[in-house]
Structure 1
Amino acid sequence: MRIYLLLMAVAAVVTFLATPLARVLAQRTHAITAVRDRDVHTVPVPRLGGLAMLIGFACTLTIASQMPFLQPLFTGSTERLPWAILVSATVVCLLGVADDIWDLDWLTKLVGQVLAAGFLAWQGVQLIQFPIFGLTIGSSRLSLVVTVLVVVVAINAVNFVDGLDGLAAGVIAIGGTAFFAYTYILTRGDTPSDYSDLPTTIMACVVGVCLGFLPHNFFPARIFMGDSGAMFLGLTMSAASIYLTGQIDPARLDTAFPAFVPILLPVAVLILPLLDMGLAVIRRLKAGTSPFHPDRMHLHHRLLDFGHSHRRAVLIMYIWTAVLAFSAVSLAIPGVPVPVLVVGIAAGIALAVWATVRLPRQPLPKLGR
């Protein structure tokens, strides 16, 4: 665990130090988010924060490759996989940088995302089986298509939820921490003599870069992650999820609901971005517009319209992410009785509902003379 926490700290520090450099570069290249009708910020803000995240991730992964504890991940049959994830993450990040500077059209971005996801699958990070009901993808071509689809959906889900200061980075940090805990618990139970694990390593790096970026990005933000950051986070999260999900034998899991946990957790981690994206696509198609046509009806916008402040809306999204993600992780903890899990999950949901509901202020009664 200490090695993973060290990687997380290194990623946070490198990203924190690299973010001001990304901000300067954004100002010099005019990668500035102007104030539009649908936006909630009131002054132009530089973007390209994803470039700092990529630097933090790349430096930390390089350091990890030199650690004896993690050496098995960078040799043998998995030797290509960490670098394949890094290359794909670099491709989508640079694609996002181009979009942050020149404002690319949605088709160009989609083609770039598909190519990055295709390279990831070609190098071996591919969804081969679902650890539920023994379902296996029998065709290599279908496996490639499903992998690309999952990666592209995750990339755009994170991009859709990136609408308030600190929202996307915080949601991924919280959900990623839950995912990190799950992969670590799974690794300890599966291979007690060797705790080195690729998804755990990737998630430690991802959580670290989010934590390092948040001090610059939380309200009021001095820099946005932009499409470069959102696409980077979506790809790395999906890569870790795909690799983990495709490698699990549910029969080996000693959990309350073994068959459902591996496929449930990646969804629970990204449930809010996925829900927001799904509602947006349905809403825009019903209105006769493109699914990529921006509007001001995302979940975070509705929280603001409900009367919550900017920071409170972000914190509410944090709470919901934590409840859903850690509830899924709790199912993977061996030896915990089901009633205890149910009570804990119910208490978390009650807390999230209480934080979300904003009761109208009642006027004070007038006092007579």
Structure 2
Amino acid sequence: MVILLTILTAFFIGFLSMPVLIGAFKKMQVVDKPGGRKIHKNDTPSMGGIVIVLTVLITSFIWLNLHELVQIRYVVAALALMFFVGLRDDLVELSPMQKLAGQFVATFMVVFMSDIRISSFYGFLGIYEIPIVISYLLTFVAIIGLTNSFNLIDGLDGLAGTISILTFGFLGWWFMAVGMESYGTFSMILVGAVLAFLVFNWHPAKIFMGDTGSLSLGFVLSVLTVLFIDTNGTLYANHPWKFNAPIASGIALMIVPVYDTTRIFARRIRRGRSPFAPDKNHVHHFLMRMGLTHDKVAITLGVIKLFFIGLIFIGASYSDYLMLPLIIFTAVVFGARLDALTLKRVKTIAKNSPPVLKGKFKKAQHKSTIHHSVAEHMHISDN
């Protein structure tokens, strides 16, 4: 009951605050204009992450006791830092190195001060505890990489919100189940806050989360996923909610941004381009080329995400030796099938569409006919 009240508190704070932010941004003309790589059609306020993060902070102070707040204090402080990095980037665009520096400091806070890190390979490849330097390095790469991967999927209405709600929901349940109530409650607060945002971000979106939201949410998702991997990997063997493939389970939780970023970087490098050069070849762009609308793309990728979460439950008793190749193979097969279906659909659309020159000729012919008719009518009137 307390968890439900926590989610509802976050939801209603966000739900009541978001229209105020939307109205203020519209009045001040702080809007994201369409054009270029952007696929929205109207001027739309951005920086909805302001309400998301403030809702999370307010609800955390309402529902978490002092002991629980102390446990998550560095995660909350790092979230606040990422919030300001994203806000600054939305207001005055930061360079990639400036954003990376902010992410590095936030990651430093949770890794060194909260000791949230990947401490082992948990028996995979016969490796258990790893040297502390490698542990820190691996964790920094994981958190910063996952943060930016999530940031890249925030490309259409409802997608980032849908993916994050599913992940926070699973993590909230799992942390509560293994006795980590502070992190469990914090995850459920995030569910309520993002759900409130999603009401206004569902297609057609009335507001976007911006980097203020996507960097903040991506960072917290990455940190909590790392915490899940390490806590799960070090649970005793007979624990009822232990997944015996901690690495594969963590990848499955972040499968959509991980696969999309890996795929897009590989395509760019293969074509001789910088992996960081922006384009419209993300998974959600491909699904839209198949004719799916924003909401259908969000639902489709959400269902795929649930499928992979289901896989880690089904394979809970199997180790990373089996589950890691299975997760990767399944993602690659899904991706290859998606590319094939998209190509087939695009060819069908192109085949059924009139040629461009023919369409222009018909338009010119139609205008000529109109002008001729008008001239005849004027000639008859003169007579």
1:41-63 per-position Cα deviation (integer Å, ceiling 9, x unaligned): 11121111111111111012112
Show the 5 A alignment for 1:40-189: 40-66=39-65, 72-74=67-69, 79=70, 81-130=71-120, 132-133=122-123, 135-139=128-132, 141-185=133-177, 187=178
Query: What is residue 236 of structure 2 aligned with on the other side?
Result: 251
**Larger Cα-atom Rg:** 2
Flag the 1:331–1:104 CA change in 2: closer, same or farther, 3 A: same
Work out whether residues 107 and 144 of structure 2, in 8 Å CA contact, stay in contact via their aligned partners in 1: yes
Quick one: distance in 1 between partners of 2:244 and 2:120? 10
- Measure the CA separation in 1 of the matches of 2:75 and 2:44: 29
Cα–Cα, structure 1 residues 300 and 85, in superposed 2: closer, same or farther, change >3 Å?
A: same
- Write the mapping of 1:1-369 to structure 2, written as runs, cut at 5 A: 2-27=1-26, 31-66=30-65, 72-74=67-69, 79=70, 81-130=71-120, 132-133=122-123, 135-139=128-132, 141-185=133-177, 187=178, 195-248=179-232, 249-254=234-239, 258-260=243-245, 262-332=246-316
- Normalised to the residue count of structure 2, the TM-score between the two structures is 0.76
CA distance in 2: counterparts of 1:240 and 1:253, whole angstroms: 23
Q: What is the TM-score when the length of structure 1 is the normalising length?
A: 0.79
Q: Is the Cα contact below 8 Å between 2:260 and 2:283 reproduced in 1?
A: yes
Distance 1:111 1:297, change over 3 A: same
Deviation at 1:198, TM superposition (A): 3.2
Q: Deviations over 1:72-125 (max 9, x none)?
A: 534xxxx3x411111111111111111111122222111111111112212124
Change (3 A) 1:257 1:122: closer
Cα-to-partner distance string for 1:264-287 (whole Å, 9 max, x where unaligned): 333212101111111122222334
Unaligned runs of 5+ in 1: 188-194, 334-341, 362-369
Residues 303 and 313 in structure 1, CA contact (< 8 A), matched pair in contact too:
yes
Letter in 2 for 1:319: V
Q: C-alpha distance in 2, partners of 1:331/1:25? A: 49
- Does the 8 A contact of 2:171 with 2:224 survive in 1? no
Q: Structure 1 residues 52, 125: closer, same or farther in 2, change over 3 A?
A: farther
In structure 1, distance between residues paired with 2:106 and 2:295: 34
Q: 1:257–1:3: structure 2 CA closer, same or farther, 3 Å change rule?
A: closer
Amino acid at match of 1:137: I
Q: In structure 2, how many angstroms separate the alpha carbons of the residues matched to 1:253 and 1:25?
A: 54
CA contact (8 A) 2:225 2:253 kept: no
Cα distance in 1 between the residues matched to 2:21 and 2:273: 34
For structure 2, which runs of at least 5 residues remain unmatched after alignment?
Answer: 318-325, 349-383
Worse-matched range after superposition: 212-221 or 43-52 = 43-52
Contact kept in structure 2, 1:219 and 1:311, CA below 8 Å = yes
Q: Distance in 1 between matches of 2:121 and 2:255?
A: 19
Q: In the alignment, what sits opposite 2:352? A: none
Question: Which residue of 2 is the match for residue 337 of structure 1?
Answer: none
Alpha carbons 1:182, 1:332 under 8 Å: kept: no
* Residues paired across the two proteins, number: 328
Identical-pair percentage: 23
- C-alpha RMSD of matched pairs (Å): 3.1
Give, in angstroms, the shift of residue 164 of structure 1: 0.9
C-alpha distance in 1, partners of 2:203/2:138? 37
Mapped partners of 2:53, 2:242: distance in 1? 36
Q: Give the distance between the partners of 1:322 and 1:88, measured in 2 at CA.
A: 28
- The structural deviation recorded for 1:131 is 6.0
Per-residue deviation, 1:220 = 0.2
How far off its partner does 1:207 sit? 1.3
Q: 1:332 to 1:17 in 2, by over 3 A?
A: farther
Q: Is the 8 A contact 1:171 1:318 kept in 2?
A: yes
TM superposition shift of 1:329: 3.8
The 2-side partners of 1:323 and 1:153 are apart by: 23
Q: Deviations over 1:156-175 (max 9, x none)?
A: 11111111101000111122
Aligned letter for 1:51? I
